[in-house]
Amino acid sequence: MSEDAIATLRDDDYLGPLVEAHGPLTIEPADDFYRRFVVSILRQQVSMASAAATRERLFEAVDPTPAAMLATDEATLREAGLSRQKARYVRTVATAFEERGWSTEFFADMDDDEARAELTDVTGVGEWTANMQLLFSLGRADVFPVGDLGIRKGMETLFDADLTRPAMVERAERWRPYRSYASLYLWRVGEDITESVAEVVEG
């Protein structure tokens, strides 16, 4: 699928130059689903630098596994830099992994909408976080996270226009069924966005 996606986007008038500049980009399911999920939670509404610093402190204090997170008291999570709200979120998500059996296999037979509904049924998982899991944890090929700031910046730069979210979604239809791959290139329109996506991928 990756080869088909790259070949298709290489022929696109807008993304073609980005494909040539950055080469083939791939999407694969995460090796560690819960760890990747925690990184997404840490990135909610904060800068990349802040999220990275908190991630380092947290993963030094606690193994990023659902069982370890549930066994850790809130004070330890707060000392690592998590807000009270995010301390709650990493634990509610850990509970979902433990009690609902979340895993890449659990979501394998769900389509994107079904998976998104399951994910957002848990406190702390909004649309942006769910889309990050679909794209970076589950490796889905056709996710377009229009709520992401980097995507919006990339779209506005690429199309040289001040676009509404519905307009972005409409323009992104040209990249279906490879909008996840298109998103990887949109994140690379600007250097700051490249650092942002690297933080997600490497987290």
pLDDT tens sequence across 1-44: 689 999 999 999 999 999 999 999 999 999 999 999 999 999 98
pLDDT at 203 exceeding the cut of 60: no
Q: Where residue 45 falls among pLDDT bands split at 50, 70, 90?
A: confident
Domain with CATH 1.10.1670.40 in the chain: 2-27+144-191
> What is the DSSP annotation of the chain?
-HHHHHHHHHT-TTTHHHHHHH--------SSHHHHHHHHHHTTTS-HHHHHHHHHHHHHHS-SSHHHHHHS-HHHHHHTT--HHHHHHHHHHHHIIIII--SHHHHTTS-HHHHHHHHHTSTT--HHHHHHIIIIIS--SS---TT-HHHHHHHHHHHTS---HHHHHHHHGGGTT-HHHHHHHHTTSSHHHHHHHHHHHH-
Q: Where in the chain is the domain with CATH 1.10.340.30?
A: 33-137
List the CATH code of the domain at 2-27+144-191: 1.10.1670.40
Name the average pLDDT for the chain: 92
Superfamily of domain 33-137: Hypothetical protein; domain 2 (1.10.340.30)
Q: What percent of the chain has pLDDT over 90?
A: 87
* Entry pTM: 0.88
